[in-house]
Amino acid sequence: MEIILTKDVENLGFKDDLVTVKPGYGRNFLIPQGFAHLATVSAKKVLAENLRQRAHKEADQIASAQKTAEKLRGMEIKLAAKVGQGNKLFGSISNADLSTYFSQNDLDVDKRFIQIVGGVVKALGQYTAKIRLHREVNVDLTFDVVSDVK
């Protein structure tokens, strides 16, 4: 069954992608939840026209995302946290903390698009985060978690 996604679906595709799924998954989940609609001949023509019209807007968005990616690659990120015995943190560092750090440094990165490799951080050290700025622009970013005791 061919469907056109109306929203990003994890492990399946992005908005406006034409994908093939099993009929039950499409009819019973994706279409009723509003994640997709059937890919009829007319729907495919409408999708092609919309994609053509959106192409130049997409180029501007990609350029903006690449500028943000260059700023992120040039940053040296150190997040301070309270530390107990054995270099374990009181609490944890999550994607929300990284998003807050970016907003303090005049960068707009939504926490939903930040993924820390290995989940939340609960100890001092160096970690990696994957940031999705655009469907074509992804950044692997290294950051340090340091003690806030001076």
> What's the pLDDT tens digit per position in 59-80?
889 999 999 999 888 889 999 9
Note the pLDDT of residue 57: 86
Can you give the three-state secondary structure of 59-95, one letter per residue?
HHHHHHHHHHHHHHHHCCEEEEECECHHHEEEEEECH
HSE of 108, CA atoms in CB hemisphere, 13 A: 3
CATH of 2-63, one of 3.40.5.10, 3.40.50.10860, 3.40.50.720, 3.40.50.2300: 3.40.5.10
Residue 150's pLDDT band (cuts 50, 70, 90): low
CA 30 – CA 18 distance, rounded (Å)? 13
Class of CATH domain 67-147 = alpha beta
No. of helices (H) and no. of strands (E), the chain: 3, 9
Is residue 109 over pLDDT 80? yes
Note the pLDDT of residue 107: 87
Give the pTM.
0.65
- Beta-carbon contacts of 62 under 8 Å, excluding residues fewer than 6 positions away, are 134, 136, 137
Q: Which part of the chain has CATH 3.10.430.100?
A: 67-147
| Mean pLDDT within 97-102 | 91
| Mean pLDDT within 44-71 | 90
- Which helix (H) or strand (E) segment is 24 a member of? helix 23-25
| Mean pLDDT within 73-97 | 89
Q: Which part of the chain has CATH 3.40.5.10?
A: 2-63
